[in-house]
Amino acid sequence: MLKVPEHQVAGHIASDGKLGPLVDDQGRFFKPLQGDSRGEHEAKFYESFTSNKKVPDHIRRYFPVYHGTQLVEASDGSGKLPHLVLDDVVSGYSNPSVMDVKIGSRTWYPDVSEEYFKKCIKKDRQTTTVSLGFRVSGFKIFDHQESSFWRAEKKLVLGYNADGARLALRKFVSSNSPADSNLTPNCAFALEVYGGSNGILAQLVELKDWFETQTLYHFNSCSILMIYENESILMKEGDDAPAARAQVKLVDFAHVLDGNGVIDHNFLGGLCSFIKFIKDILQSVDKRDETDTSLLENGR
């Protein structure tokens, strides 16, 4: 009944007999508890978060719903292993476009081992983590012309500089062929995905407001997933729901720590930087549309 998730864009992937997450056809996501303490740590976070009455309801919706742990047949054939059972955040989408963005200007944190510190800071300096306060970890776009998914190459993604990250965020909401790297992304979906009262930007700003005061958790090395359905924008079937169904979800909590009365300034700073990137794209699209309109008005 369990299978390899189709829409995962970063992290351990359960294919070729490796250990990775699985999904069922009931909208559940099974994430194997990693052998070292990280799996236990993530389970503990979900237990704490789920029962924490200080987390406001409007914030809870940005986290996958947790259903405890369960022994299931592991993807690497090593027999039954404990898995976190979560709601599959892309369940219910036909052809979700997904991007994983790791937030923060560092992925290490106080009191880690020197080995872990060195490993993290090396990658943080090689990627845009230090310079931008976030790094794109992976993304896929549903190419409606080809009726198939296009995936960004992991090696290219991890080599992005500021311009590369900016381009990826534009490409993620564009309708022209993602496979052709010579095309300038047209940002056709930017307004509907990033903009609007229920769009990505509005959701990020709601999260930011919470992060300015919350001192419950420090979300080290966590990712923001951005999910939307581009087909539904093109088809415009119904008006009762936002067509793009753009969603922000926080994932990966193996390194979450107690906030101890201090805000998560590392996550917050990176989140603010990411928000500025999204705002800049929306502003450039707004400007272009204004120009288009004035051109039309001039009869050209």
> Which spans of this chain sit near a copy of itself (rule: CB under 8 A)?
105-106, 109-110, 121, 125, 130-133, 162, 212-213, 215, 260-263, 265-266, 268-270, 272-273, 276, 280
Which lies closer to a copy of itself via its Cβ, residue 11 or residue 259?
259
Those residues with Cβ within 8 angstroms of residue 243's Cβ, 6 or more apart along the chain or in another chain: 192, 229, 232, 233, 236, 237
Which lies closer to a copy of itself via its Cβ, residue 50 or residue 131?
131
In which element (H, E) is residue 250 found?
Answer: strand 247-251
Q: With beta carbons less than 8 A apart as the criterion, state whether 137 and 101 touch.
A: yes
Which lies closer to a copy of itself via its Cβ, residue 238 or residue 261?
261
Strands of 28-32's sheet, edge to edge? 22-23, 28-32, 80-87, 66-73
Q: With beta carbons less than 8 A apart as the criterion, state whether 15 and 4 touch.
A: yes
Which lies closer to a copy of itself via its Cβ, residue 105 or residue 221?
105
Rounded to whole angstroms, the Cα distance separating 176 from 183 reads 8
Rounded to whole angstroms, the Cα distance separating 95 from 90 reads 9
Which lies closer to a copy of itself via its Cβ, residue 45 or residue 274?
274
Query: Minimum distance between the CB of residue 213 and a copy of itself, rounded to whole angstroms?
Result: 7
Rounded to whole angstroms, the Cα distance separating 53 from 60 reads 10
Rounded to whole angstroms, the Cα distance separating 3 from 15 reads 10
Which lies closer to a copy of itself via its Cβ, residue 69 or residue 105?
105
Q: Which two tokens stand for residue 45?
A: 């976070």
Query: Minimum distance between the CB of residue 128 and a copy of itself, rounded to whole angstroms?
Result: 9
Which lies closer to a copy of itself via its Cβ, residue 46 or residue 277?
277
Query: Minimum distance between the CB of residue 34 and a copy of itself, rounded to whole angstroms?
Result: 25
Query: What dihedral do alpha carbons 139, 118, 83, 246 form, nearest 10°?
Result: -30
Closest listed residue to residue 120, CA positions, set 241, 192, 235, 221: 221
Half-sphere exposure of 80 (CA within 13 A, CB side): 4
Query: Minimum distance between the CB of residue 51 and a copy of itself, rounded to whole angstroms?
Result: 24
Query: Minimum distance between the CB of residue 162 and a copy of itself, rounded to whole angstroms?
Result: 6
Query: Minimum distance between the CB of residue 131 and a copy of itself, rounded to whole angstroms?
Result: 5
Query: Minimum distance between the CB of residue 212 and a copy of itself, rounded to whole angstroms?
Result: 6
